[in-house]
Structure 1
């Protein structure tokens, strides 16, 4: 808990610093305020006004059901047109206005737990298209959403620096590829491709407004032509859209052009956020700033040596009470750092998750009880069924090892031995992100070995099957791009056994056990599906031994589809209606995500 609170304070400090940088005034409160250029201000206000106007029309007594739907579509269009600007300048309000129709739980870590009813466009959409509309619920959703937009409009101040514009454009390019084309925020209408097209329109407008910054007119024209070409390809049926080709052909090319633009503009960045300022491809470790995900106290001096030291500690059984267990005991390298067991032998009730790619998260353990990899180490050390030690005892054993003692002295120029040990182990874990799978190499254009079935599987995963609305590319975990500030927890209704006729919910209460929040019963963190081909068995309780069983569970609609009654299941579908051939293709794709050697 101490580690979580420390991390929360650090993030608060960073947020306040960013606000001061953006606003340039120390006396501003944290409201929806940012500095933009005048031209973008006019565009933004126009989109806001049109969205507000059409939301207002939905609740007019004289409005028919069909007219309501058309007004909603128009309001939603303007919301998506403003998305690149709103999502960059006011992330919290954008998240609220674009949130799924699911109860939100806030403030558990700070012991200020609040259960918040959702607002925003997805809530309106789901209610508006019900067979029997609950007018009170719909009117509330419309009014609260409209009023939030009005508040945003009242608090817009305008001016942007060059690097703000580049960040805004990069965020939106990545957002389109990772959530925009997946159906993430269009639960009923499934018009994600059309809406991605709208957001590209705004990218074009922003570029045109900044054309005087271009030394190379040819580069400006090339970028706009590429966006238009991407828009043409988006004019397609949702279920059969070729997302693999779109990302390979358009997303990566746009990212490369954006790097050329920042060189042309001679942009200097003050720092990096989650996405690397020089990223030119989505499916690569170079796409990310790994330090963004690490503890705020991380020291990158002699990092390669710290990683080697951390690997030694990761494999050392002397860190456990009876000298029988190391991190590597449960996280076996040849099994993509899992153990191949339903649950570990020593009275464990949960399946061992992989630590590969775990660096790209903001929460750790299946119930998200740790806020950093360094904090996760403490949890393992203190667990009676794992190391069963205190950190002081671990420090004593490490310091009694002359080799380790010398390395600590050489690599860390401070006396925080406890933290330094944890940091070394965490640094090793943060290095386990190779992005060298068959799929990565193919989408980057380094190979041409992907079969038609495997490519179809990716397209289904990212589209019709809706897997990517929880397992976000390119890491395929639950940390939401492009800002990567939130790691999602879900309730999918995992059963206790494979019995599908008399299915009963797994008794593990998950997140609820930490703070006793009823709305968090049976919630678990969304893991990565990278290396899923070699990390069986699956789910938090290891109930399924094959990917076929996993896909059958999802295809039926999760726990609800098995007859398990619940109020909080978060899957965005009742059932998927996938054919056997489509399921086989999705599994074939997931098996292309197996890494090479770490």
Structure 2
């Protein structure tokens, strides 16, 4: 009996060992299979990417002044198609190169170091497009742009090594979807031909190809099929006339559906993101505070402990007049909540040269003050403190006053685990300002399906804003300011030629950014502000010259300063004039009024 039991025990152990070995062996095979599958997917992805880049520069190299002009145009259009097909991968792997290749035909000024200011002539497709399709072609500029653009594409292709983890791939897909919905639905990068809708279809086709490469990753095959159906449907909807395209319905029907599918894919692939960049890793709407990682825009990115208490402290400091030399001015003196955090004045009590900008949605910028002289909210506060016409103090003096207040002193010590009072005080105020973006305007609530109250006129106004009127080529949704999606790492400055008075006879003598470094190409450049809450933040422009939205729209409809007859060789508006009808202007204004939030 004992021998029999030993035999049974031996058999059981043998079975267990066999099962363990089998599981181990199978596990090894699975790991090996996944390794091969992962590498094979990357190889296919790189093949797709390089194919599109190659076709782009082959067609570009085919352009020659010896050719028939129509033939050159067709070569350009074909090259542009493959460039846009490469865009989802190119823009993710080569952000700076992509920006250069797809940049507006505007001189680029680099002023990070005042002792080494660089003025770079533009290259890329927009330079080629504007010369090839204009009546007065600059052959030298055209040749240069073609040669440099082609050489850059070849360099990227020959040095490309597509190494992407799964979370990178998901970010890449999301970035492409957001780029299409924001800049792609306007003519941001096709101002002459107006081909942005068609070209957005090319980018969506590449997303279809990418998902097909990674089809085996989907444990839920119906999710993969939903992606393909949705992308097919989106591509078809984009095949329409630019001016009559219903962008509002596209966002509601397609853009938000794509984000839902993206979130489902994250769960289905069981991907964990190691961190967040400008965008949060879980949002379903482009018009939502949940879309953004606000810490990305902060100087104090790691400070998340006791943040709610820090915001309360910041709000108290924001309203405290004791921070100014004469104890008669606080941040809230010029930034009044009921006026969209402006003051409703042309300039503040004749002590300021410029109109008070709104703090609404100021959290989502990379540049501050109208001349963009500060790179963060925390840094911007120093400018206010030191300004003789504002607080007229030093940070050291403010800290001494704050420390004399026992409640403030206790809060600083209990909320911050360091002795950097200067920075902690600024961080608290900035943390409060970063809460002034509720995304609960009439427009937000409607496009997010929370209510159904937008009128046909207001929807038409949004479509015009995004389309024919070209407003969204500078005021990018969803923030409607100059911070460029989908990476939100740059905030644009524009030269539009604002007049000195509303009679529109003389150019204003405040040259904005020019006054910092005296760079001629920056003369008259100012940061693009948000259009959110614009109905309650008048007067408008950097000098408060216009008091009504009708006056502002008339200015743009005329073509800005150049349209008024001012000498503006570097004006950045992407049009001569808009040719908008009175009815169209009324619709755009009606839409802008729906951006007033309920803070």
The TM-score with structure 2 as length reference comes to 0.92
Secondary structure at 1:58 match in 2: coil
1:67-78 superposed matches below 5 A: 67-78=71-82
Where does residue 545 of structure 1 map in the other structure? Answer: 547
Give the number of the structure whose alpha-carbon radius of gyration is greater: 2
1:457 corresponds to 2:455: no
Secondary structure at 2:119 match in 1: strand
Q: From the superposition, tell whether residues 321 and 298 of structure 1 become closer, same or farther in structure 2 (CA, over 3 Å).
A: farther
C-alpha distance in structure 2 between counterparts of 1:135 and 1:473, whole Å: 36
C-alpha distance in structure 1 between counterparts of 2:341 and 2:138, whole Å: 49
1:312 corresponds to 2:316: yes
Deviation at 1:542, TM superposition (A): 0.1
Match of 1:419 among 423, 435, 443: 423
Where does residue 499 of structure 2 map in the other structure? Answer: 495
C-alpha distance in structure 1 between counterparts of 2:515 and 2:65, whole Å: 45
Where does residue 410 of structure 2 map in the other structure? Answer: 406
Deviation at 1:538, TM superposition (A): 0.1
Where does residue 555 of structure 1 map in the other structure? Answer: 557
Q: Deviations over 1:165-197 (max 9, x none)?
A: 100000000000000010000011101110000
C-alpha distance in structure 1 between counterparts of 2:115 and 2:266, whole Å: 43
Where does residue 29 of structure 2 map in the other structure? Answer: none
Q: 1:106 touches 1:114 (CA, 8 Å); kept in 2?
A: yes
1:327 corresponds to 2:337: no
Deviates further, 297-306 or 406-415: 297-306
Match of 2:181 among 172, 177, 184: 177
Deviation at 1:243, TM superposition (A): 0.3
1:292 corresponds to 2:296: yes
Q: Deviations over 1:393-440 (max 9, x none)?
A: 000000000111111111111110111100000000001110000000
Q: Deviations over 1:456-489 (max 9, x none)?
A: 0000000000000000000000000000110000
Deviation at 1:36, TM superposition (A): 8.3
Q: Deviations over 1:510-555 (max 9, x none)?
A: 0011111111111000000000000000000000000000000000
Where does residue 13 of structure 2 map in the other structure? Answer: none
Where does residue 32 of structure 2 map in the other structure? Answer: none
Secondary structure at 2:62 match in 1: helix
C-alpha distance in structure 2 between counterparts of 1:408 and 1:566, whole Å: 50
Where does residue 444 of structure 2 map in the other structure? Answer: 440
Where does residue 34 of structure 2 map in the other structure? Answer: none
Deviation at 1:298, TM superposition (A): 5.0
Match of 2:476 among 468, 472, 482: 472
Where does residue 5 of structure 1 map in the other structure? Answer: none
Deviation at 1:109, TM superposition (A): 4.0
Deviation at 1:59, TM superposition (A): 2.0
Match of 1:59 among 55, 64, 70: 64
Q: 2:295 touches 2:301 (CA, 8 Å); kept in 1?
A: no
C-alpha distance in structure 1 between counterparts of 2:165 and 2:275, whole Å: 14
C-alpha distance in structure 2 between counterparts of 1:412 and 1:359, whole Å: 21
Q: Deviations over 1:51-83 (max 9, x none)?
A: 11111110262x110000000000000000000
Where does residue 570 of structure 1 map in the other structure? Answer: 572
What is the root-mean-square deviation of aligned Cα atoms in Å?
1.1
1:91 corresponds to 2:91: no
1:214 corresponds to 2:218: yes
C-alpha distance in structure 2 between counterparts of 1:225 and 1:110, whole Å: 52
1:396 corresponds to 2:400: yes
1:231 corresponds to 2:235: yes
Q: 1:96 touches 1:118 (CA, 8 Å); kept in 2?
A: yes
C-alpha distance in structure 2 between counterparts of 1:305 and 1:248, whole Å: 36
Where does residue 37 of structure 1 map in the other structure? Answer: 42
Q: 1:298 touches 1:423 (CA, 8 Å); kept in 2?
A: no
Q: 1:36 touches 1:160 (CA, 8 Å); kept in 2?
A: no
Where does residue 504 of structure 1 map in the other structure? Answer: 506
C-alpha distance in structure 2 between counterparts of 1:411 and 1:296, whole Å: 14
C-alpha distance in structure 1 between counterparts of 2:189 and 2:167, whole Å: 28
C-alpha distance in structure 2 between counterparts of 1:429 and 1:214, whole Å: 42
C-alpha distance in structure 2 between counterparts of 1:408 and 1:533, whole Å: 37
Q: 1:36 touches 1:157 (CA, 8 Å); kept in 2?
A: no
Deviates further, 36-45 or 78-87: 36-45
Match of 2:361 among 357, 375, 378: 357
Deviation at 1:160, TM superposition (A): 1.9
Where does residue 517 of structure 1 map in the other structure? Answer: 519
Secondary structure at 1:255 match in 2: helix
Unaligned runs of 5+ in 2: 1-39
Q: 2:41 touches 2:214 (CA, 8 Å); kept in 1?
A: no
Deviation at 1:107, TM superposition (A): 3.5
C-alpha distance in structure 2 between counterparts of 1:438 and 1:86, whole Å: 37
Q: 2:45 touches 2:213 (CA, 8 Å); kept in 1?
A: yes
Deviation at 1:145, TM superposition (A): 0.6
C-alpha distance in structure 1 between counterparts of 2:162 and 2:434, whole Å: 39
Where does residue 386 of structure 1 map in the other structure? Answer: 390
Match of 1:48 among 33, 46, 53: 53
Number of residue pairs the alignment of both structures matches = 560
C-alpha distance in structure 2 between counterparts of 1:476 and 1:569, whole Å: 20
C-alpha distance in structure 1 between counterparts of 2:350 and 2:413, whole Å: 35
Q: 1:204 touches 1:227 (CA, 8 Å); kept in 2?
A: yes
Secondary structure at 2:208 match in 1: helix
Q: From the superposition, tell whether residues 131 and 346 of structure 1 become closer, same or farther in structure 2 (CA, over 3 Å).
A: closer
Q: 1:453 touches 1:588 (CA, 8 Å); kept in 2?
A: yes
Where does residue 589 of structure 1 map in the other structure? Answer: 591
Q: 2:114 touches 2:517 (CA, 8 Å); kept in 1?
A: no
Unaligned runs of 5+ in 1: 1-34
Deviation at 1:134, TM superposition (A): 2.3
C-alpha distance in structure 1 between counterparts of 2:439 and 2:394, whole Å: 35
